[in-house]
Amino acid sequence: MTGDIDEEFLLLNPGPVPLTDPVREAMDAPMVSHRSAAFERTYERAQRGLDYVFTESTLDGHSTSAGGTSLILNGTATMGMEAAVANLVGPDDEVVALVNGKFGRRFARIADRYAEVKGVDVGWGEAFNLDAVTRAITDETALVTMVHNETSTGILNPVSAVGEVASESDAPFVVDGVTSLGGDVFCIDDWNVDVAITDSQKALAAPPGTSAMYVTDRATERVDGSRAPFYADLEKHLRKAADFQTPFTSAVPLVRALAVAVEAIEAEGMAPRIRRHRRQAKAFRQGFAAMGLEAFPETPGLTVRSNTVTATRLPIEIDPSDFFDAVKARNVSLSGGQAHLGGEIFRVSNMGSLADSDVSQGVRVVGEAMAEAGADVNGEAGLAAARDVLGSGENQVDGEGATVGAAGE
Ligand SMILES: Cc1ncc(COP(=O)(O)O)c(C=O)c1O
């Protein structure tokens, strides 16, 4: 036992995700001042690693940004989402917010506090209609917000295609890459992204409490910190980042852990890491399908299933709490649906540094728990299908779960 949890416990929630020992241990060091040279060196290491993740998340390793700054924020990604909106628009501005899940809705709700929102809403788990997006973005649009990987529904949205539309207007394009950055392809300039946001506790596999954002040089020119919350004034954050500091007291242990986590990502290399995430997500998808479960999201055209979060329908014949209790009894944690999707779906994550054996354990436990809850599933077929994917050594995934937008691959 460590604290309140058993070492054998397998955390498959879509964040926070399991930490490696070096990341955990980084937090256990004597405290230093956030204004010390020692801390500045830590910030610099974390920032350099974040630059790598934000700008080289491609399969061929090319850099996707002509210039920008990675910022570390004391606060989770919701703070980054709010900071991006509040620094780029004012009350009379129009924000086009794309909503097909809980986090797209969160972006719209944030924007509603600072500006006028024009929503492009479809059902949670459904694909956006690009014609509707094209009609919504006009010369009046001051900002476009979008979530790349919708964690609430396991969908990977077509940022590349929307970015192309957004680039025809003058509006900055702000993208939540919270559950894609560090685990899947993400392109800044190639997809016309002006600001990208991510969380520490997702595919970066660092502890929760901090987040990061990449502000391109073109977005920096448009930042007006005076209209943002004092704590989220990006002019201050950008100024201090140039000295490897945060404007206010830094979350020193968390930044230390973040530095180790992003250095581990660089050591693995984004391309192999993306291929590993795709392989593991495919194993979850195919494992669940082979046991007889139905995928949740609808993924026509450019919209595909996520390579980091797998959302699956709960069979109608079971009581969801029987299933979740049976999973818990097996020392595994996964997530149910959020908001109105509660009782309809379950979600597993393969973000971070999971071993293939963790993925097969997850598939096995879901099969056993479904059977215990009374679902008509073939757990053995599911496990065999997942192992086939994991054991095949295949790195490239075609069709479902492939990268959205060929640009930058
Ligand atoms: C897509 C997405 N955006 C934003 C967030 C930010 O949430 P929080 O600020 O609670 O970490 C999350 C967290 O789950 C997420 O999955």
Among 304, 57, 18, smallest CA distance to 181 is for: 57
Task: Label residue 7 by pLDDT band (50, 70, 90).
Answer: low
Mean pLDDT of 244-271: 98
Residues 332-374 have pLDDT tens digits of: 999 999 999 999 999 999 999 999 999 999 999 999 999 999 9
Query: Does pLDDT of 407 surpass 70?
Result: no
Helix (H) / strand (E) element for 311: namely strand 309-313
Strands 141-147 and 94-99: parallel
141: which DSSP letter? E
Q: Name the token pair of 123.
A: 């059902």
**Could you read off the pLDDT of 109-143 as tens digits, one per residue?**
999 999 999 999 999 999 999 999 999 999 999 99
- pTM listed for this prediction: 0.95
Q: How far is CA 220 from CA 187, 198, 217, 280, in A?
A: 18, 18, 5, 37
So what's the pLDDT on residue 298? 87
Domain ranges for the chain: 21-268, 271-391
How confident is the model over 234-261, as a mean pLDDT? 98
- Tell me the pLDDT band of 402, cut-offs 50, 70 and 90: very low
What is the b/e burial string over 259-285, where b = at least 16 CB atoms within 10 angstroms of the residue's CB? bbbbbbbeeeebbebbbbbbbbbbbbb
Q: What angle do CA 288, 291, 295 make, to 5 degrees?
A: 40
CA of 155 to the centre of ligand 1 (A): 14
Q: Is the pLDDT of residue 52 over 80?
A: yes
pLDDT tens-digit map of 72-89: 999 999 999 999 999 999
Ligand 1-lining residues (CB < 6 angstroms): 15, 76-78, 103, 147, 151, 176, 178-179, 199
Say whether 267 sits in a helix, a strand or coil.
helix
Average pLDDT of 237-248? Answer: 98
Question: How remote is the CA of residue 102 from the centroid of ligand 1, in Å?
Answer: 9
Q: Which CATH architecture has domain 21-268?
A: 3-Layer(aba) Sandwich (3.40)
C-alpha distances (whole Å) from 346 to each of 130, 181, 324, 352 are 28, 22, 9, 19
With 80 as the cut, is the pLDDT of residue 392 above it? no
pLDDT surpasses 90 at 275? yes
Q: Is residue 17 within 8 Å of residue 334, measured between CB atoms?
A: no
Determine the Cα–Cα distance for residues 356 and 372; give it in Å rounded to an integer.
Answer: 24
Work out which ligand 1 atom sits closest to the CA atom of 76: 9
For the chain, the average pLDDT equals 94
Helices 252-268 and 37-55 cross at an angle (nearest 10°) of: 40
Cα 42 to middle of ligand 1, angstroms: 25
Q: Domain 271-391 is in which class?
A: alpha beta
